[in-house]
Amino acid sequence: MPDKKGNLYLYEALELRAEYGRHIGLLENLMGDASKKHGLFRDNDEYKEPAEDFNLKEIEGKLKKLQTKQVKLNQELQKTNFEIQIEYKGEKISVAEALEIRKNLLEDIKAMTERIENSSYKRVIHKEERDIVEKPRHRFGEIYREYQDNIQQLRQLVNRIHAVNYLAIVKFKDE
């Protein structure tokens, strides 16, 4: 539901961008089929020809218009993401920065998962009449606490990002 001036809330603009992407993909696929030949073409032992109401020029026009709208929407989304501030760890950061931090936290959590798994067991190698015990490189308790801290930070950050999606306005009107 756009604001009083017809602009979109951030969550609406994000969904509209996804909608544009899906629609552009469909039109590009139609263009791909139609551009094989301007008439009859063969596809897996069957012949295809454009339907009576399929107008290639009209599809091209719609595609170009949608691509232009998508570029403009992306620019306004980026502008909004840099302008809107949220609080994170006691300081104000832009949504764009928050999205980067979110990406980094996700990568850190993925890397920590492997370290946690490796630190949870000692390796015991049986060799002749003795056992060789290899201790983990990282202490399980420390790395697990760090992992829990990161997932908690991620949850808090994502919640703040989602909350601002329902308050921030993107200066874009879907015409």
Domain boundaries, the chain: 8-84, 86-166
Residue 152 has pLDDT above 80, yes or no: yes
First to last CA, the chain: 14
Q: What is the DSSP letter of 7?
A: P
Name all contacts of 119-126 with Cβ < 8 Å and 24+ positions apart: 119/143, 119/144
Query: Across the chain, what does the average pLDDT equal?
Result: 87
Instruction: Select, from the ranges 4-13, 32-41, 73-82, the one with the highest average predicted confidence (pLDDT).
Output: 73-82
Residue 49 pLDDT: 78
Average pLDDT over residues 95-116: 95
Top pLDDT among 107 and 51 is at 107
The type of residue at 116 is: I
pTM score: 0.76
